[in-house]
């Protein structure tokens, strides 16, 4: 009887722990909400979202840039852009901050719920904290964050099905529809169907494998079809593929660069910890699980933006094999204890109401502001006064120029510009190709430049005949053509 009575209590604890973690994460992120507004892409995401709302359509071509106007561009994150634009129009910067914080908090709560299927609460919390720490540099008000809880739910549900030796339920397919409309990262979800499906087949009895393989294959076909349930249809896959075809230009875009181990960082610590765990405990995994870990590790090593994927997928893959490793935590120290039934439900409601009221009170007293380093207001005011129309800009200023209805030379839509253009641009802007810089300025009939204060290109233009600096502050430098100097030359 005592064992039977303890089961509802443990279940209530498991139900409330993810909610408590989600509420705590949300409040923490809200208090530090300005840190979510440090990416220039947020600016043009909101601009595109507002265009979609105004025109009741999605863009098929570019109409923002100076150099790619009219070329094919599909907004594979259109739903996220609409959500950001809607919240911004109603609540200013508080809207995107709250929306982003809620998405991250939901992702952490879901991750804890999946991990608690196999691990006691303290160990599951360690993995959740690790995942949030690894993702921290990339937690920004951008579409990939709104898709983060969908990624956790999709990955966790697939691993749960594999752990139980079953095929996933077709009821999961609406998650793929949502993911494909939120962010182009849905291709990871499609890849996970095959990778996790191999784990289910590996662990199944030989007699069950043919039928199980057919069910996983049917689910994979359904997931592929679901990913095309967007305004772009099958072209959604082509739009996502363009992002992955940037080749060498990945090395010059900060979030796509390889991981840097010149100094110790959380990702390095996680890799060393994983290696140490395997060596000291003789960790044995099935080949498909090994491939999953190796695959996500390679992604994180190749591109820093994939480190958050590593932080989510690896704990989900390890949870079931690690369930027998750790000694169970004594009942007295398991943490939150709540009565089952109505008291537990009331506690959940109280947690949500407390988080909501605290959030409303903080948002009413705090004015969120976008990063000043990404918004060269004064410099653009100078350009607007001079009626400059063809501007060569630093990569990070493209989003702000779009918001100001000025066509940027380049912006964060890397897939629009392509590998060659980006490689030539960064070589010119970084000072590695002076001749290329001057050629770009002449061929594109540039009449002004808007560069960061520490840009090598800005320093070079100070010494180039035909150009003069007319404005400088801590954020940006403006150069314009000096026709008199060019004539005297």
| Strands of 269-372, DSSP E | none
Q: What percent of the chain has pLDDT over 70?
A: 90
Q: Determine the pLDDT at residue 329.
A: 54
DSSP 330: P
What 3-state DSSP class applies to 479?
A: strand
Q: Which pair of structure tokens corresponds to residue 397?
A: 């200023």
Encode pLDDT of 41-57 as tens digits: 999 999 999 999 999 99
The CA distance from 261 to 265, in Å, is 7
Q: What crossing angle do the helices spanning 307-322 and 287-302 adopt, rounded to 10°?
A: 160
Radius of gyration of the chain (CA): 25
Q: Are 339 and 348 in contact (CB under 8 A)?
A: no
Q: Are 60 and 73 in contact (CB under 8 A)?
A: yes
Confidence of residue 459 (pLDDT cuts 50, 70, 90): very high
Work out the mean pLDDT of the chain and round it to a whole number: 88
Q: Determine the pLDDT at residue 3.
A: 36
The CA distance from 348 to 344, in Å, is 6
The CA distance from 114 to 370, in Å, is 35
Q: What percent of the chain has pLDDT over 90?
A: 68
Encode pLDDT of 238-290 as tens digits: 877 777 777 777 778 888 888 888 888 899 999 998 888 777 767 788 999 99
Query: How many other CB atoms are there within 10 angstroms of residue 347's CB atom?
Result: 18
Q: Which residues pair with 476 in a beta bridge?
A: 452
Confidence of residue 12 (pLDDT cuts 50, 70, 90): very low
Confidence of residue 326 (pLDDT cuts 50, 70, 90): low
- Helix (H) or strand (E) segment spanning residue 468: strand 467-472
Measuring CA to CA, which residue among 171, 69, 82, 92 is closest to residue 444? 69
Q: Determine the pLDDT at residue 330.
A: 54
Encode pLDDT of 72-108 as tens digits: 999 999 999 999 999 999 999 999 999 999 999 999 9
Q: Determine the pLDDT at residue 336.
A: 46
pLDDT score of 304 more than 80: yes
Query: How many other CB atoms are there within 10 angstroms of residue 395's CB atom?
Result: 22
Write the DSSP string, 358-403. HHHHHHHH------GGG--HHHHHHHHHTT--SEEE-GGGHHHHHH
Torsions phi, psi of 243, nearest 5?
A: -65, -35
Q: State mean pLDDT over 428-443.
A: 92
pTM reported for the whole predicted model: 0.90
**Residue matched to tokens 């009942």:** 331
Encode pLDDT of 379-431 as tens digits: 999 999 999 989 999 999 999 999 999 999 999 999 899 889 999 999 999 98
Query: How many other CB atoms are there within 10 angstroms of residue 135's CB atom?
Result: 23
- End-to-end alpha-carbon separation of the chain, Å? 97
Could you tell me how many helices (H) and strands (E) the chain has, helices first? 21, 4
- Helix (H) or strand (E) segment spanning residue 98: helix 94-115
Region of residue 369 (phi > 0: left; psi between -120 and 50: alpha; otherwise: beta): beta
* CA-to-CA dists, residue 161 to 50, 120, 158, 219, 389, angstroms: 39, 20, 5, 12, 56
């Amino acid at each position: 009887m005592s064992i039977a009575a303890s089961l509802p209590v443990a279940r209530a604890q498991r139900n409330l722990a993810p909610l408590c973690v989600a509420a705590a994460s949300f409040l923490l992120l809200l208090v530090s909400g300005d840190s979510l507004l440090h990416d220039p892409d947020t600016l043009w995401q909101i601009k595109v979202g507002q265009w979609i709302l105004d025109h009741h359509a999605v863009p098929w071509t570019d109409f923002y840039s100076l150099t790619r106007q009219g070329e094919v561009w599909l907004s594979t994150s259109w739903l996220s852009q609409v959500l950001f634009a809607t919240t911004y129009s109603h609540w200013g910067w508080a809207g995107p901050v709250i929306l982003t914080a809620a998405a991250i908090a939901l992702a952490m709560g879901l991750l804890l719920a999946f991990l608690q299927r196999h691990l006691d609460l303290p160990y599951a919390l360690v993995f959740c904290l690790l995942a949030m720490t690894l993702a921290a540099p990339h937690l920004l008000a951008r579409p990939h964050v709104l898709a983060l809880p969908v990624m956790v739910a999709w990955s966790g549900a697939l691993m749960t099905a594999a752990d139980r030796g079953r095929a996933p339920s077709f009821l999961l397919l609406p998650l793929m529809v949502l993911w494909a409309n939120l962010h182009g990262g849905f291709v990871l979800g499609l890849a996970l169907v095959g990778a996790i499906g191999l784990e289910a087949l590996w662990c199944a009895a030989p007699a069950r494998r043919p039928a199980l393989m057919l069910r996983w294959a049917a689910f994979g076909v359904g997931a592929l079809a679901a990913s095309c349930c967007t305004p772009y249809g099958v072209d959604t896959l082509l739009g996502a593929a363009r992002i992955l075809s940037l080749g060498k230009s990945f090395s010059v875009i900060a979030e796509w660069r390889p991981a840097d181990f010149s100094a110790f960082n959380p990702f390095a610590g996680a890799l060393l910890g994983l290696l140490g765990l395997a060596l000291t405990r003789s960790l044995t995994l099935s080949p498909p699980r090994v491939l999953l870990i190796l695959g996500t590790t390679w992604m994180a090593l190749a591109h820093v933006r994939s480190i958050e994927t590593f932080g989510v997928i690896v704990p989900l893959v390890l949870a079931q094999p690690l369930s027998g490793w750790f000694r169970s935590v004594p009942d007295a120290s398991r943490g939150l204890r709540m009565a089952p039934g109505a008291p537990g439900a009331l506690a959940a409601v109280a947690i949500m109401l407390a988080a909501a009221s605290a959030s409303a009170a903080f948002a009413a007293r705090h004015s969120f502001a976008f990063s000043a380093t990404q918004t060269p207001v004064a410099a653009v005011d100078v350009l607007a006064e001079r009626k400059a129309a063809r501007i060569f800009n630093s990569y990070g200023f493209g989003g702000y120029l779009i918001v100001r209805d000025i066509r940027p030379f380049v912006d964060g839509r890397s897939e629009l510009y392509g590998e060659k253009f980006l490689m030539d641009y960064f070589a010119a802007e970084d000072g590695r190709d002076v001749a290329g810089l001057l050629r770009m300025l002449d061929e594109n009939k540039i009449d002004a430049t808007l560069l960061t204060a520490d840009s090598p290109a800005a320093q070079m233009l100070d010494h180039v005949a035909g150009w003069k600096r007319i404005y400088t502050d801590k954020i940006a430098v403006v150069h314009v053509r000096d026709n008199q100097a060019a004539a005297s030359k």
